[in-house]
Chains A and B, each alone.
Chain A
Amino acid sequence: MTDFGATGSHPHELRRGRSLFDLDDRTRRRNRSEGAFRWLGIGAIALSMVFIVILLGTIVARGLPAFTQTTITIEVPLDAAVLDPNGTGDPEVIRSVLTFGYAPLIERGLAGTVAATGVETELTSSQLPQLLSPGVAATLRDMVAADPSLVGQTVQVEALASGRADGYLKGRVTRESLARDTNLSPAHLDVLDALVEQDLARRAFNWDFILGADASESRPEEAGIGVAMIGSFYMMLTVLLLALPIGVAASIYLEEFAPQNRLTDLIEVNISNLAAVPSIVFGILGLAAFIQFAHLPQSAPLVGGLVLTLMTLPTIIISTRAALKAVPPSIRDAALGVGASKMQSVFHHVLPLAMPGILTGLIIGLAQALGETAPLLLIGMVGFIASNPPDGFIDGFVSPNSAMPAQIYEWAKRADPAYYERAWGGIIVLLLFLLVMNVLAVLLRRRFERRW
């Protein structure tokens, strides 16, 4: 210390005489704040993980019950006096009986079944059917219409329990919650308990939820996501058929052929901005351009697919360009060197090598499109109950349908808690699809990952 800082109290002077082995107070303090900061980071990660666990936990806990459904086994006398009063045996006459005609039969059957269990109840036989879905009559009618010879016999039916009765077995409905409910009373639950004891009411895996169609507001127990799944399938097919060729062509142009000019800049700016435009705006575009202007049908998966194609194109173009960029220039040079044209070098050499990367990006784009809801609301893919799968393959593109996320939204809007269960169940199905797609993308990336 020749020319400055020679004051005896200077920290530097203190330091110079000190052993490295004892920490001064300031270092201790600094280490404490270091630790605190690190804990802040750990806290942020932990909090995010807690959110994930709560979210996924909620989905699983609330959604799994949708995959089972309660049925009550009843013996229904298919009384010929009701179904075929004149004894004609004519299938046409039998088919003409409305579901109202079956209601008393079901009532009788259920009353008989309950009486057989020996449980005492103050409920009249006309109140008992509240345990069953209003859809049972239609099911029974379809059964008889398919086989008129059943008339006059007594058939055993696995009748769907009503949403609330089902909810009781799943723990969603309690005796207290029924106090303000006119649809079911605690007395019903006593009956139900007795039926469960004798294994006449039981929960079974609910294929109808996965394969079936949506049902009306009063019959949550019958609603399924199958038809919406078909709608989603057609939309994804549209996106795949349009976005893959267009996205790849646009990327090839921008990455391999585009000259440095204003037009190219304009395209690039447009792509990066479109990637950040809110999805609802694409819905407005779809409504104005495809439905108002081009008069395409409302609620058609084709229109949904078109909107989702426009929405996912930027994502797909960005990832495809990255995949093309990852192919080293030496490959292009090698092809050009043996006399291939630029176009040939791209299509014969660069594109095949970039394909795994392109497909990975495509799958991720499709996954994004599959979960998108907002634009579908505007082109009429909610509020519509498609009760049947489409008639033919081509018909599937244009016949009105819903889509999985739109169906979930529709259920979420219905006030009945039984529909919340359906919505969470639908989310499980949707997330399973997304999981499969993402795993596929990861595997593809791993399998074909290449170090140049």
Chain B
Amino acid sequence: MPIFWLILAVLAIAVAGFLGARHRALSLAGADRRSLHSLPNYYGWSAAIAAMLPAFAMLALWVVLQPIFLNMRAAPLLEMDAGGAAALAMADVRRVANGLALGLSSGVLTPDQVASITPEEVRSTLGAIGVALGSEVSPQTLAAAEVYRAGQSAGTAAMSVVVLALAVAGAAWIWLRTRPETRARNGVERVMRYALLSAALIAILTTLGIVLSLIFNTVKFFGLYPADEFLFGLTWSPSFGGGSTLGFVPLLWGTLYISFVALIVAVPIGLLAAIYLSEYATSRVRSIAKPALEILAGIPTIVYGLFALVTVGPFLLDIFGAGGVLGVSWMRGATAVMTAGLVMGIMLIPFVSSLSDDIINAVPQAMRDGSYGLGATQSETIRQVILPAALPGIVGAILLAASRAIGETMIVVLGAGAAAQLSMNPFDAMTTVTAKIVSQLTGDADFSSPEALVAFALGMTLFVITLALNVFALWIVRRYREQYE
């Protein structure tokens, strides 16, 4: 594990630099420690940072670039066109190269043996030291592997030298420059500031990562499957053998239908609960009901999913199914739009109520006073003054809830069914964008087939829809809050 040892060595140099620079600062300052610009440790830290920062940066760069460079050197030897097959062949090359390197380092093979090994021997030789190869090795592969291995061992050696040299040079440079008046603290703090900034930049990197991984694979998908047939297709019937019809419309319909049912449940209950809690409830009722609602909010979605599948679905089936209490046979199976929608609605109640609670509380007390002063009852005040005043905020809250519903996965995976269909009957099984992302990407999917890649296109649409809803909703809510600040 040379990289591991290299890191340890750099750390050791950093510690030495720390102690050296600290000592030098102290001894140069002599008896008068107040002549030091910074606390002694800052001089030490400067040297340690100077040792580690460039060395580790170089190490990271080298680790990333070396395989790319070696690929470029070895690939032409394979005499293949670039593409999926070449990528697989390169993977073989790397495996053989790593196997040979392992053989060398563990002493099983001598350099002479490696130099004279024939393609026929490779598989058995490497198998003996625990490197399993899937097939016999072609002469080209072996040649490329040998180039790769040689480059790798030379590169790794060079890397060690360069990294260690950088670390020593950095530490020594700071050590030489250390004077009592050196502004060591300022330097250290500047580095810390950049470290803090880079932590904050992870948010941007995450978004970038999401967008890139979605776009990259979506483009690949549209290369295999026409975009218009995906976006406007009315049938969804994937078959992993090929010849799938991947129409997005039934999935969108199922998603919107289930979200709609969920909002029909969650918005009235959540809103009325918020109104009651913020306007009517005594502090005792509030102190019980609020934590109780938080319990509902803290329950993981998998629990709701199981609840839909095992409890709510069969319950609804007993009422609306064939031979049910109502004598109607609207429902054929336990999984349905209604099952998932109802449960998702329950899940969203605390979300809607806590957002609405915040928004109702943001309406100034002066509005209520004004209304009561005119002889309005509490409900008249709520319905005719507070709710109209809070309307933009409440709309924002509902949009946020809608975005939650659209992106919810576990409840629909377990409760909504798997059949994609365009139906108006809320008791039919339907499926959603999120459920299909899960079903297309779990199992042994081949990531280059349209059946798997379609999940990224679905993820893309999901991301765009929820992002648009969120941005819009947050904008509304922010404007609403500013109005009363």
Contacts and interface: CB of A to CB of B under 8 A. Distances in A.
A–B touching in complex (CB under 8 Å): yes
Interface of A: 30-31, 33-34, 37-38, 40-45, 47-49, 51-52, 54-56, 58-59, 62, 245-247, 249-250, 252-254, 257-258, 266-267, 270-274, 276-285, 287-289, 292-293, 310, 313-314, 317, 341-343, 367, 370-374, 377-378, 380, 382-383, 405, 408-409, 412, 420, 423-424, 427, 430-431, 434, 438
A285 B408 contact: no
Interface of B: 185, 189, 192-193, 195-197, 199-204, 206-207, 209-210, 213-214, 216-217, 268-273, 275-277, 279-281, 285, 289, 292-293, 295-296, 298-303, 305-307, 309-311, 346, 349-350, 353, 377-380, 382-383, 400, 403-404, 406-410, 413-414, 434, 437-438, 441-443, 447, 455-456, 459, 462-463, 466-467, 470-471, 474
A249 B196 contact: yes
Contacts of A412: 302, 305-306, 309-310, 414
Nearest to A413: B414
A40 B272 contact: yes
A310 B272 contact: no
Lowest 4 CB-CB distances: which A-B pairs, in order?
A: A278-B407, A371-B300, A41-B276, A288-B213
B200 A37 contact: no
B303 A314 contact: no
A47 B269 contact: yes
A289 B210 CA distance: 9
Contacts of A253: 193, 196-197, 199-200
Contacts of A276: 400, 403-404, 466, 470, 474
B210 A374 contact: no
B452 to A, nearest CB: 10
B306 A408 contact: yes
A305 to B, nearest CB: 15
Nearest to B377: A34
User: Chain B binding site: helix, strand, loop or mixed by DSSP?
Assistant: helix
Contacts of B414: 409, 412
A380 B206 CA distance: 21
A272 B478 CA distance: 12
Nearest to A271: B203
Given A288-B217, A289-B213, A267 B203 contact: yes
B275 A41 contact: yes
User: Chain A binding site: helix, strand, loop or mixed by DSSP?
Assistant: helix
A279 B382 CA distance: 36
A409 B305 contact: yes
A270 B203 contact: yes
B306 A423 contact: yes
Contacts of B353: 48
Nearest to A54: B311
B301 A373 contact: yes
Given A58-B311, A341-B189, 6 more contacts: A45-B276, A273-B470, A313-B206, A342-B189, A423-B310, A424-B306
A48 B296 contact: yes
A312 to B, nearest CB: 11
A271 B204 CA distance: 8
Nearest to A282: B210
11 contacts: A37-B378, A41-B272, A47-B269, A52-B292, A58-B307, A253-B193, A257-B197, A371-B300, A423-B310, A424-B306, A438-B298
Quick one: which of B353, B379, B456, B471 has the most chain A CB within 10 A? B379
B258 to A, nearest CB: 14
Nearest to B346: A51
Contacts of B443: 383
Contacts of B298: 367, 371, 434, 438
A111 B356 CA distance: 66
B139 to A, nearest CB: 27
Contacts of B196: 249-250, 252-253, 257
Contacts of A438: 298
A30 B377 CA distance: 8
Given A62-B310, A267-B204, A377 B300 contact: no
A246 B202 contact: yes
Contacts of A341: 185, 189
Contacts of B382: 37
A66 B346 CA distance: 26
A258 B200 contact: yes
B199 A250 contact: yes
Contacts of B474: 272, 276
A264 to B, nearest CB: 8
